[in-house]
């Protein structure tokens, strides 16, 4: 992934650099990352195999001042279209949200509309933002993923380098099934800082049965893979589609929060409804 890390756009990001924290609203703090950079490395940019997708963000550290100077807090949900030109770099997103801290806004709708407008402008795509008062979530339960967990296998792992070839010959063309598979062992790394990103991944497909051992080995190989959350999900989708050729496929990752944000991307070539409640590690 050195080619990606050394791309001029990536090198210009504030990520991994000493930064100044601003507490007055500043939309210019948001930094876009063109999705085309990584998709060209996947060799699927000209023929993207997924038809639908969103990047779902949960904003846990959002605050501002009302017209009287009284602090306000909320949790916000963000849905960013996967076919926007850009993804939003997460550190810049955190810095942008910090800039709300000492800024007065007339009402909650103004805050919500401001965030939605700024993200859409930065991403060059469709964005939906929903602010939720904390008392509306006081009875929110921890969600449970429904499907077959493939983690409890008695296998030995000796190589942790990313290897998509682990999926080669993994599909049984004589056994067509409909499956939802889950793994909590997904770990990738930030492409700039190399800090770990932990997540659970849900793979739902209809097609030739995928060998669970090969799939788990493949997912574990992401432990040394350096890419943003959204790019990891697209990598998984492209590799499964290429090597296993399912008729329908969806890949959804729920990453643990870092710096008050969690990022939960999903990609699918069929109708898909994404779980939005937080998991136990979120």
| Burial of residue 21 (number of CB atoms within 10 Å: 0-12, 13-18, 19+) | exposed
Average pLDDT on 26-55 reads 88
What whole-number distance in Å separates Cα of residue 80 and Cα of residue 86? Answer: 10
Express each pLDDT in 118-166 by its tens digit: 999 999 999 999 999 999 987 788 999 999 999 999 999 999 999 999 9
Cβ-contact 86, 31 below 8 angstroms: no
Classify residue 101 by burial, with Cβ atoms within 10 Å: 0-12, 13-18, 19+.
middle
Model confidence over 49-98: pLDDT tens digits?
999 999 999 999 999 999 999 999 999 999 999 999 999 999 999 999 99
Contact present, 74 and 133 (Cβ < 8 Å): yes
Q: Which of 44, 122, 190, 238 is catalytic?
A: 190
* Cβ neighbourhood burial of 139 (10 Å; 0-12, 13-18, 19+): exposed
At 163 the pLDDT is 96
Contacts of 129 (CB under 8 A, 6+ apart): 76, 77, 78, 79, 112, 113, 115, 116, 119
Confidence of residue 40 (pLDDT cuts 50, 70, 90): confident
Q: In percent, how much of the chain has pLDDT > 70?
A: 93
Residue 1 has pLDDT above 50, yes or no: no
Per the prediction, the chain carries an average pLDDT of: 93
> Quick one: average pLDDT of 167-180?
97
45 has pLDDT over 60: no
- pTM score, two decimals? 0.92
Whether 11 shows a pLDDT value over 80: the answer reads: no
* pLDDT level of residue 18 (50, 70, 90 thresholds): confident
Active site residue 239: no
Across the range 37-52, mean pLDDT stands at 81
Domains in the chain (CATH in brackets) are: 2-137 (3.30.1130.10), 148-268 (3.30.1130.10)
| Helix pair 229-244, 212-220: axis angle to 10 deg | 150
- Say what the pLDDT of residue 110 is: 98
pLDDT at residue 215 in the model: 98
Higher pLDDT, 160 or 18: 160
The catalytically annotated residue of 44, 55, 122, 197 is 197
Question: Which of 10-24, 37-51, 107-121 tops mean pLDDT?
Answer: 107-121
DSSP 8-class letter at 5? H
pLDDT in tens, 221-236: 999 999 999 999 999 9
194 is catalytic: no
Of residues 207 and 10, more confidently modeled = 207
pLDDT at residue 12, rounded to an integer: 66
pLDDT at position 55 is 98
pLDDT at 167 over 90: yes
Would you place residue 26 in the very low, low, confident or very high pLDDT band (cuts 50, 70, 90)?
A: very high
- Evaluate the CA torsion angle 225, 229, 233, 235 in order and state its sign: negative
């Amino acid at each position: 992934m050195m080619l990606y890390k050394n791309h001029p756009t990536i090198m210009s990001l504030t990520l991994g650099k000493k930064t100044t924290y601003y507490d007055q609203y500043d939309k210019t703090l948001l930094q876009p990352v063109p999705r085309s950079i990584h998709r060209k490395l996947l060799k699927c940019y000209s023929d993207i195999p997924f038809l639908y997708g969103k990047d779902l963000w949960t904003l846990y550290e959002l605050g501002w001042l009302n017209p009287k100077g009284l602090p306000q807090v909320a949790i916000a949900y963000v849905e960013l279209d996967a076919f926007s030109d850009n993804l939003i770099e997460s550190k810049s997103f955190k810095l942008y949200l910090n800039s709300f801290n000492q800024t007065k806004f007339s009402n909650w709708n103004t805050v919500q509309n401001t965030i939605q407008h700024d993200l859409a402008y930065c991403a060059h795509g469709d964005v939906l933002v929903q602010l939720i008062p904390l008392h509306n979530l006081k009875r929110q339960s921890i969600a449970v993923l429904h499907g077959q967990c493939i983690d409890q296998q008695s296998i030995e792992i000796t190589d942790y380098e990313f290897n998509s070839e682990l999926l080669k010959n993994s599909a049984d063309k004589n056994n067509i099934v409909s499956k939802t598979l889950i793994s909590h062992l997904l770990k990738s790394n930030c492409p700039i800082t190399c800090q770990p990103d932990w997540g659970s991944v849900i793979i739902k497909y209809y097609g030739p049965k995928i060998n669970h051992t090969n799939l788990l080995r493949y997912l574990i190989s992401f432990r040394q893979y350096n890419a943003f959350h959204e790019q990891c999900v697209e990598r998984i989708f492209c590799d499964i589609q290429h090597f296993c050729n399912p008729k329908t496929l969806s890949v959804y990752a729920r990453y643990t929060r870092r710096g008050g944000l969690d990022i939960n991307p999903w990609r699918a070539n069929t109708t898909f409804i994404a779980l939005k409640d937080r998991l136990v590690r979120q």
